[in-house]
C-alpha cells in the first residue's frame, strides 16, 4: 500500500493561510498599520494606488528590524510579540500570530526596507510569491517601509473577485479610520493615487474625531467617562438631536483595538430608547479598557470579533453610562418615574470594589429582539383602528385611463368604459380591483420600481439626459464621501451627472440628471454614498445598479404622501407596464392580491 499523506510545501501553506488573513486590499492595510503601531512608530504614512490593487505601502518611523529579523519576519509563525501561548492572555500588541507578512508575501510582490536606530545600514528584501529575489544592505531611514504590489498577482480568481475601486477604497478608508481613531497620539497620513486624503497630526481624541469626520461633528459630541472595576469606558457619543438616518459612525475599541459587537451596539442603542425616532441611529466613539486576561481576541483571524469574559455586565454598564451622560447633558427626559433601576448599577459597581457585583442581568435578554419597534407597531395599529383620517377618497371614483393592452386585461370590468377605480388608504396603500381579485399596492415600493426601471431604460437604451446648471452647485461632503464619489465618477456621469471639480471636502457639480429635481440632489447623492458604503447585497450587481437603486429609493413617492386619483392611476398604470411589477428594486413585495373567490369564502 502506498502512503498518500504529505506535508504541504510552505508557499502553498502560506497561500492558504493568506486566504484567511487577506480578503482584500484593506486587510493588508490593517495588518501593515498594526505592525507599524506595534513597532512604536509615532508617524505612519499609508500610500495607496488604484484602491490598493496596484500598491499598498506603509512607511513608519518605528523600531525597525535587524537584518536577520527582516528575513525572519516573512516566515510563518514568526513573531516577536509572544513567546508562549500564555502570553496571549496578557496581550499588549496588535499582532501575535506571526502570519500576516508570510501570508502577504505569498500572494503579492513585497519590498521591505528597514533599519534600526543604532544601525548604519538597513536591509532591503524583495520577495514575491514566498520566494526571495533580493536581500541586501541599503541606506534607508530609521523605521520600516513595506510596499505590497499587485495583490493576488498569482491568484487571478481572487484578483478578479475584488470589488469596484469605490468599494475597495471605502474598505481601506474604514480600516484607516478605525486605526487612526484608536491612536490619536500617532500622526497618520493617507495618500491615494498621490492625492492626500488625510493628514492627521498627533492630537487628542476629540480633535482626531473632528479631523476625520469634519468640524461639524464637534458640537454634537457628548463625553463619556466611567470607571468601574470591570471596565473603564470613555469616549464620545452623539446627542440624539444629531442622530443619523443611516447607521452613522459607530466605533467600539476594546483595549485600543477596533471591535465589532452587535451585542454592545445594542447596549448603546438601548440607552437612547425613547430619544430617537425609528430608523435613526446615534454615532459613538467608545473605548473600553478591560483586563487583558478577561478578553479573548483570538477567536477570529482578523481579530475584530472578540469575546469578553463579563459580557453581560459590560452591556449593563455601557447602557447605564451612556444613559447617564445623555441625562447629564439635559438630553434625556428629566423625570422618568419608570426608570429602569439597572441604571444605577455602575455606581454601585464603583463603590463595592471587592464584592461580587450585585447586578441583575436579564439572562433571557436577546439583543436582536427589537422592543422599540414592536411598541411602535402596536401604536400604529391602534391608531388605524380608531382613526379614519387617512382615507383620502371616500368613494371609488371613476376616471379615464390610457390604453395599454395589459391594463385592459387587468381591469376587465372597466374594459368598456376605460376606467380604473382606486382608493388610497393610510397615505400608504392604493387599493384597486383587477379582473379576479382585489389588489393592495404599497405606493412607496411601487414608485421605487417605476423610477428604477425608468432610470435603467434611460441609461441602457437612451442617452442619459443631463440638465446643465446655470450656476454650478457646491456641496460639502466629508473627505471619505468625496473619495467615494470620485471613484464612482464614471458611473455617475453615465447617469447624467457632470462634475466640475472634486475638492478635498466638497464637490462642484454643473450638470444633474433630468430625473433628479434640484432640491433632491443632496439627499440623492447621500443615499448613493450610503448604499455604496453599506454595500448591502446589491454589491454583486455592480455599482451602476447600486446607484440606480438608491436613486430610485431617494426619489420615490414616500409613504405619507396624499395621492389624488390621477396620481394613483398613474402609479397603477406604470407599475403594470414594468418588467417586474411584483417586487421593489430591493426585493420587497409591492402588492398583495385577494382573489374574489377567497373574499367570497370569508362570508360563508
Ligand atoms: P505579528 O504582527 O503577528 O507578529 P507579522 O507577520 O505581522 O506577525 O509580523 C512578523 C514580525 O515582523 C513582527 O512580530 C515584528 O517583529 C516584525 N515586523 C513586522 N512589521 C514591522 C514593522 N513595521 N516594524 C518593525 N518590525 C516589524
Ligand atoms: Mg502583524
In this structure, what CATH number is given to the domain that contains residue 249? 3.30.230.10
Ligand 1 atom closest to 62 (CA): 24
Regarding the beta carbon of 103 and ligand 1, being less than 6 Å apart is answered no
388 is a domain residue: no
Q: Say what the pLDDT of residue 81 is.
A: 79
Regarding the beta carbon of 473 and ligand 1, being less than 6 Å apart is answered no
Region 280-300: what's the mean pLDDT? 86
- Kind of pairing, strands 284-289 and 250-254? parallel
Structural domains in the chain (count): 3
In a shared domain, residues 196 and 215: no
> Looking at ligand 1, which residue's alpha carbon is closest to its atom 14?
79
* SS3 per residue for 419-468: EECEEEECCCEEEEECCCEEEEEEHHHHHHHHHHHHHHHHHHCCCCCEEE
In a shared domain, residues 187 and 41: yes
Region 504-508: what's the mean pLDDT? 88
Regarding the beta carbon of 27 and ligand 1, being less than 6 Å apart is answered no
In a shared domain, residues 245 and 164: no
In a shared domain, residues 166 and 214: no
In a shared domain, residues 105 and 249: no
517 is a domain residue: yes
Higher pLDDT, 516 or 57: 57
In a shared domain, residues 294 and 165: no
Helices (H) and strands (E) in the chain, counts: 19, 24
CB atoms within 10 A of CB 513: 22
Q: Say what the pLDDT of residue 410 is.
A: 44
CB hemisphere CA count around 472 (13 angstroms):
13
Q: Say what the pLDDT of residue 301 is.
A: 61
175 is a domain residue: yes
Q: Are 231 and 317 contacting, i.e. CB atoms less than 8 angstroms apart?
A: yes
pTM metric for this prediction:
0.62
Give the residue from 200, 221, 249 where a domain finishes.
200
Region 296-322: what's the mean pLDDT? 82
> Looking at ligand 1, which residue's alpha carbon is closest to its atom 12?
73
Regarding the beta carbon of 506 and ligand 1, being less than 6 Å apart is answered no
Q: Render pLDDT for 438-455 as a digit per residue (tens, 0 to 9).
A: 999 999 999 999 998 888
Q: Say what the pLDDT of residue 514 is.
A: 84
In a shared domain, residues 195 and 275: no
Q: From ligand 2's centre to the CA of 32, what distance in Å?
A: 7
- Look at the block and give the residue holding cell 438601548: 270
In a shared domain, residues 262 and 163: no
Task: Give the domain range for residue 543.
Answer: 441-575
Regarding the beta carbon of 144 and ligand 1, being less than 6 Å apart is answered yes
Task: Residue 446: give its domain's CATH number.
Answer: 3.30.1370.100
**Span of 114-123, 391-400, 527-536 with lowest mean pLDDT:** 391-400
In a shared domain, residues 193 and 285: no
In a shared domain, residues 303 and 193: no
In a shared domain, residues 91 and 232: no
Residues 6+ apart with CB under 8 A from 42: 61, 185, 186, 187, 202
CB burial string 397-406: b at 16+ within 10 A, e below: eeeebeeeee
Regarding the beta carbon of 411 and ligand 1, being less than 6 Å apart is answered no
In a shared domain, residues 165 and 29: yes
Q: Render pLDDT for 557-601 as a digit per residue (tens, 0 to 9).
A: 999 999 999 999 999 989 988 888 888 988 888 999 888 888 888
300 is a domain residue: yes
Amino acid at each position: 500500500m502506498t502512503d498518500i499523506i504529505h506535508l504541504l510545501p510552505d508557499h502553498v501553506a502560506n497561500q492558504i493561510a493568506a486566504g484567511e488573513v487577506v480578503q482584500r486590499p484593506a486587510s493588508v492595510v490593517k495588518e501593515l498599520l498594526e505592525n507599524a503601531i506595534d513597532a512604536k512608530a509615532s508617524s505612519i504614512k499609508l500610500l495607496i494606488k488604484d484602491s490598493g490593487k496596484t500598491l499598498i505601502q506603509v512607511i513608519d518611523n518605528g523600531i525597525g528590524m535587524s537584518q536577520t529579523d527582516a528575513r525572519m519576519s516573512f516566515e510563518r509563525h514568526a513573531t516577536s510579540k509572544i513567546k508562549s501561548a500564555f502570553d496571549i492572555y496578557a496581550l499588549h500588541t496588535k499582532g501575535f500570530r506571526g502570519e500576516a507578512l508570510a501570508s502577504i508575501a505569498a500572494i503579492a510582490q513585497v519590498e521591505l526596507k528597514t533599519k534600526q536606530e543604532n544601525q548604519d545600514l538597513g536591509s532591503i528584501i524583495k520577495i514575491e510569491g514566498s520566494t526571495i529575489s533580493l536581500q541586501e544592505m541599503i541606506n534607508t531611514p530609521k523605521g520600516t517601509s513595506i510596499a505590497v504590489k499587485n495583490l493576488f498577482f498569482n491568484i487571478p480568481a481572487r484578483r478578479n473577485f475584488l470589488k469596484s475601486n469605490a468599494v475597495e477604497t471605502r474598505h481601506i478608508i474604514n480600516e484607516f479610520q478605525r486605526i487612526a481613531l484608536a491612536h490619536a497620539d500617532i500622526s497618520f497620513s493617507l495618500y491615494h493615487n498621490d492625492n492626500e486624503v488625510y493628514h492627521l497630526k498627533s492630537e487628542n481624541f476629540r480633535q482626531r474625531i473632528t479631523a476625520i469626520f469634519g468640524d461639524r461633528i464637534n458640537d454634537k459630541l457628548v463625553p463619556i467617562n466611567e470607571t468601574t472595576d470591570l471596565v473603564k469606558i470613555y469616549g464620545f457619543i452623539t446627542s440624539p438631536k444629531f442622530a443619523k438616518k443611516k447607521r452613522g459612525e459607530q466605533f467600539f475599541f476594546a483595549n485600543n483595538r477596533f471591535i465589532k459587537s452587535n451585542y454592545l451596539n445594542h447596549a448603546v442603542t438601548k440607552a437612547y430608547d425613547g430619544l430617537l425616532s425609528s430608523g435613526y441611529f446615534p454615532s459613538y466613539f467608545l473605548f473600553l479598557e478591560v483586563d487583558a486576561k478577561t478578553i479573548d481576541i483570538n477567536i477570529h483571524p482578523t481579530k475584530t470579533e472578540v469575546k469578553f469574559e463579563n459580557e453581560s455586565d459590560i452591556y449593563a454598564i455601557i447602557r447605564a453610562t451612556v444613559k447617564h451622560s445623555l441625562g447629564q447633558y439635559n438630553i434625556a427626559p428629566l423625570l422618568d418615574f419608570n426608570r429602569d433601576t439597572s441604571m444605577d448599577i455602575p455606581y454601585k459597581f464603583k463603590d463595592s470594589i471587592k464584592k461580587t457585583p450585585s447586578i441583575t442581568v436579564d439572562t433571557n435578554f436577546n439583543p436582536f429582539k427589537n422592543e422599540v419597534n414592536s411598541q411602535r407597531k402596536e401604536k400604529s395599529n391602534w391608531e388605524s383602528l380608531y382613526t379614519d383620517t387617512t382615507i383620502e377618497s371616500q368613494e371609488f371614483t371613476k376616471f379615464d385611463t390610457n390604453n395599454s393592452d395589459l391594463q385592459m386585461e387587468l381591469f376587465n370590468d372597466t374594459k368598456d368604459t376605460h376606467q380604473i377605480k382606486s382608493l388610497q388608504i393610510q397615505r400608504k396603500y392604493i387599493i384597486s380591483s383587477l379582473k379576479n381579485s382585489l389588489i393592495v399596492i404599497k405606493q412607496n415600493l411601487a414608485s421605487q420600481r417605476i423610477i428604477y426601471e425608468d432610470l435603467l431604460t434611460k441609461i441602457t437604451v437612451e442617452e442619459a439626459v443631463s440638465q446643465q446648471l446655470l450656476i454650478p452647485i457646491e456641496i460639502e461632503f466629508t473627505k471619505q464621501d468625496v473619495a467615494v464619489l470620485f471613484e464612482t465618477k464614471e458611473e455617475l456621469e453615465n447617469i447624467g451627472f457632470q462634475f466640475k471639480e472634486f475638492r478635498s471636502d466638497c464637490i462642484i457639480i454643473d450638470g444633474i440628471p433630468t430625473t433628479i429635481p434640484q432640491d433632491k440632489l443632496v439627499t440623492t447623492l447621500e443615499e448613493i454614498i450610503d448604499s455604496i458604503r453599506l454595500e448591502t447585497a446589491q454589491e454583486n450587481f455592480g455599482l451602476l445598479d447600486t446607484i440606480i437603486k438608491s436613486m430610485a429609493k431617494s426619489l420615490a413617492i414616500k409613504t405619507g404622501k396624499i395621492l389624488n386619483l390621477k396620481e394613483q392611476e398613474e402609479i397603477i398604470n406604470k407599475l403594470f407596464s414594468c418588467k417586474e411589477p411584483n417586487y421593489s428594486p430591493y426585493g420587497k413585495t409591492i402588492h398583495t392580491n385577494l382573489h374574489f373567490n377567497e373574499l367570497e369564502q370569508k362570508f360563508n
